[in-house]
Amino acid sequence: MRTKPLLLSFAFSLLTAPFLQASPINPMPVEVGSDSIRMAWGLPGSTDGFIVDASSEPFPAGAPIISSITFDDTVSSLTVSPLLANTTYHLRVGDLQPGGTFYAVEFSTLPTLTEQVNGAQLTQTSSWTLRANWLALGAGGAIGYTLQASTSSDFMPVSMTTITFDFAQTTMTLSGLQPGTTYHVRVGALNWVNMPNFFVMGSTATAASTSTAAGSGLGTAAILPATASGGEVVTATVTFTVPSVGMSVGGRLEVGLPFGWGSYLQTTNPGQNGYVQVTSTAGVSFTVTPSTSQSVVIDLTSGFLAAGTQVQVAVQNIFTNCPPPNQAQAVWVMKSAMGSGSALSSIASPPVQSFVPGPAKWLSYEPWSILTVAANNPSLALRLQINDNCGRPALTSSSITITLNGLMPNGSSSPDTGVAFSTSSNFASTATFVGIPAGSSTTAFYYRTSTIGNSLSIRGDYLSPFDGASQSIWRTVNVLSSSFTFMNPSVDSGTAVNNQTSVTISPNGDGIGDLAFIRFNPSDNAIQWHVMISSDNFQTPVLDYWGYGQPSSSLVWNGRSFQNQPVSNGAYAVRLEIPGMTADNSLSITVNTAQITGTITLGGVPVSQAFVNAQRIGGTGYSFAATDAAGGYTLHGLLSGSLYNLYVNYWKTKKRSFFHRFYDSLLNGWNKFIWNGSSFNFINIFKSFASPQWFQFQQTMTILTMTTCLFDVFTFCLYRGFYRLPICNLRFTDIDCHSHFSSHPLN
């Protein structure tokens, strides 16, 4: 089927190389269809005509060359056809001269569009939704489809759009439309770089609203199972209970995965990853539409849900993230709108799953560092831990036996004849294996050898608790000829004091007692030492240092963490250690500074993750913190009696990338973007962007630069393949919503 070419309404900038003869100036494609491409160029001067060549292989091509030719020297564009649909062509434009044809530099590549779909028709409309069917083009014909609706017949702008990368899909639903509104509808088949070839199906009107219920963010929700394991594949069911007002036609629910979970929700392939199925105790009809890759909108298309009715949303085979150490729960997205006139809004208590350890998968040392010991002396306890996929301790369902072997240096398979293992530090008896009992996650043993040298090894052999496969765990050992000691450890605030084991500092920027100096003399300057500062018995270090030899006055702590953030007031323990060999915990540092506490709100609502910064007026010293879920913050490391300027910045990053709005701007010449200030869930992006000044098309990336808009540059990527349409550098998606400046006296 020959289709109307798609107008490429942007300008291309293409570098050209010098030629001996005149050649067409800056050739570029201006139209692309399913079977044709039209090229345009600047006239070079004296010529006998022009030729446009297309080939599915680079020139000189082994594949056939399709050409279009003119002997009119005033013609500045030609259409080359017939071409194959959804096929990439190499393109070049030549100048016909008596001495031969002189080609401009080859214009990279450009794919033709797919054929248009056949049998497309509108099959269902409601107050908020419409559905369309068509005949699939198949795997070679299209990689997917997009369905669009607009209140304007020229589709500028597009009111609502959805996309699928399932080439076999034959039906799609648009939701979130306005009741009693006429929409023009089109379906586009996507070629391999996601350019659509649209077929306009006509127009249809959504049903007038018959809503008898209203309200946003109402109802309650629960989830089963109540727990989830990180790094695993799980299935869950969210149950929503309708509130007292009920839910009428046009009411909606939105259910979304917790942040960071890696699945993509879909409604077309039962049994596959991310499949969503919706049922209700009332037996009414729903339309389920993915609104983003990780959430679905559920529209009530018929009937009425009375108070207490339950809606079950089952999500199959979803991939959980590995949570950070301080994350105990995963919070699902749950929004509701009780009627067609109500907006979707989050319910008060969304569904929550608690993270629990997953099944045992692999073995590790805790900690897992190079072991240093003295010859003929027992090591510190070496702890083995069985972990889940995320590296968290896991409980074994059956016992695990680890066979221990001592080996000579540098990965040698030769046994260390001087090695011994034991489950007791005094080596009352030796052992060749250790075990992790069923229902446990750890075991410990001790190591000793008479062999002196570096890069010896401990190898532990065991059967994987996951699949029974043979596994080995290794640890490198350096063996010294004598024991290592930290001599004369002390701590002070600038002047060394022999044998002083504690000090109080006030790191507030006044230059007095701001620093803690840690001092010691190592017994062996060739051995690497480790110094760690912690407030929780060394479960998580605030800061640590590695080094060799005597630190003199170079080992200094300024009362700040890894992130350069002032620590809270309190006592901090100092550990001097050679990992696995020697540990000295005799030193401590107490931090005592002034602080500011407060709460950040925006429109009376607490703001979490706002950045609060304090700068001292007339002096040095600063502090910063992020607000918690209740908007609260505490700034540490401040000087009592000083004035500080407080700066508060808050960014609200939009969650929904309106890729198709940019896509329409590129392909259809639409350059008006409208800011929708009513919701942070939408990015309709600013007003009256200028038209593109240059555009470069490559196989994997599109870069668009605008010179007359609110921002200098933005970039987005156009990748092949499912779920690879990210907007890469939209700096304006971080909207500064709240910022203020004030001075606060600190008492």
**Residue 704 to residue 696: CA distance in whole angstroms:** 7
Level-2 CATH architecture, domain 6-111: Sandwich (2.60)
244-292 residue pLDDT tens? 999 988 899 999 999 888 878 998 888 889 999 999 888 787 889 887 7
DSSP annotation string for 273-340: TTBEEEEETT---EEEEEEETTEEEEEE-SS-B-TT-EEEEEEEEEEPP---TT--EEEPEEEEESST
169 CB-near residues (< 8 Å, 6+ apart): 136, 144, 145, 268
DSSP annotation string for 591-611: E--EEEEEE-EETTEE-TT-E
Q: Report the pLDDT value the prediction gives residue 679, as an integer from 0 to 100.
A: 27
**Residue 587 to residue 490: CA distance in whole angstroms:** 7
Tell whether the model's pLDDT for residue 497 goes beyond 80. yes
Can you give the residue ranges of every domain in the chain?
Answer: 6-111, 118-205, 220-356, 362-466, 486-591, 594-653
Tell whether the model's pLDDT for residue 701 goes beyond 70. no
Tell whether the model's pLDDT for residue 422 goes beyond 90. yes
Q: Report the pLDDT value the prediction gives residue 237, as an integer from 0 to 100.
A: 96
**Residue 584 to residue 449: CA distance in whole angstroms:** 23
435-478 residue pLDDT tens? 999 999 999 999 999 999 989 999 999 999 988 999 999 999 99
Token pair of 100 as six digits: 């031969």
325 CB-near residues (< 8 Å, 6+ apart): 540
Token pair of 299 as six digits: 């529209």
What CATH number belongs to 486-591?
2.60.40
**Residue 199 to residue 718: CA distance in whole angstroms:** 22
Q: Report the pLDDT value the prediction gives residue 107, as an integer from 0 to 100.
A: 67
Average pLDDT over residues 409-435: 92
Give percent of the chain above pLDDT 70.
83
Kindly tell me the burial class for residue 480, based on how many C-beta atoms sit within 10 Å of its own C-beta (0-12, 13-18, 19 or more): buried
Q: Tell me the pLDDT of the chain averaged across its residues.
A: 80
Beta-carbon neighbour count of residue 588 at 10 Å? 16
pLDDT tier at 21, thresholds 50, 70, 90: low
What CATH number belongs to 220-356?
2.60.40.3490
Level-2 CATH architecture, domain 118-205: Sandwich (2.60)
pLDDT tier at 370, thresholds 50, 70, 90: confident
Tell whether the model's pLDDT for residue 744 goes beyond 60. no
pLDDT tier at 686, thresholds 50, 70, 90: very low
Q: Report the pLDDT value the prediction gives residue 169, as an integer from 0 to 100.
A: 86
Among the four given CATH numbers 2.60.40, 3.55.50, 1.10.10, 2.60.120, the one describing domain 362-466:
2.60.40
220-356 and 362-466 agree in CATH topology: yes
Tell whether the model's pLDDT for residue 683 goes beyond 60. no
Distance of CA 165 to the CA centre of its chain: 20
- Residue 99's alpha-carbon distances to 102, 135, 342, in angstroms, are 9, 52, 73
**Residue 728 to residue 747: CA distance in whole angstroms:** 46
pLDDT tier at 210, thresholds 50, 70, 90: low
Give percent of the chain above pLDDT 90.
36
507-533 residue pLDDT tens? 998 889 999 999 999 988 888 899 999
Average pLDDT over residues 84-95: 88
Residue 315: closest CA among 356, 261, 257, 268: 257
User: Sign of dihedral through CA atoms 449, 450, 454, 456?
Assistant: negative
Kindly tell me the burial class for residue 602, based on how many C-beta atoms sit within 10 Å of its own C-beta (0-12, 13-18, 19 or more): middle
Beta-carbon neighbour count of residue 679 at 10 Å? 13
Choose between 719 and 590: higher pLDDT. Answer: 590
pLDDT tier at 728, thresholds 50, 70, 90: very low
Q: Report the pLDDT value the prediction gives residue 29, as an integer from 0 to 100.
A: 84
Q: CA angle, 579 as apex, 573 and 583 as ends, to 5°?
A: 45
pLDDT tier at 22, thresholds 50, 70, 90: low
115-133 residue pLDDT tens? 989 899 988 777 777 889 9
Query: Which residues, listed in sequence order, are joined to residue 279 by a DSSP beta bridge?
Result: 312
Tell whether the model's pLDDT for residue 692 goes beyond 60. no
Residue 600: closest CA among 634, 565, 563: 634
- Residue 158's alpha-carbon distances to 184, 664, 671, in angstroms, are 9, 8, 12
- The residue written with tokens 């972990």 in the block is 387
Token pair of 413 as six digits: 């398979």
H/E element, 651: strand 643-653
461 CB-near residues (< 8 Å, 6+ apart): 402, 403, 405, 470, 471, 472
**Residue 330 to residue 320: CA distance in whole angstroms:** 9
Q: Report the pLDDT value the prediction gives residue 275, as an integer from 0 to 100.
A: 93
Average pLDDT over residues 54-63: 82
131-145, 303-317, 442-456: range with lowest mean pLDDT: 131-145
Tell whether the model's pLDDT for residue 175 goes beyond 80. no
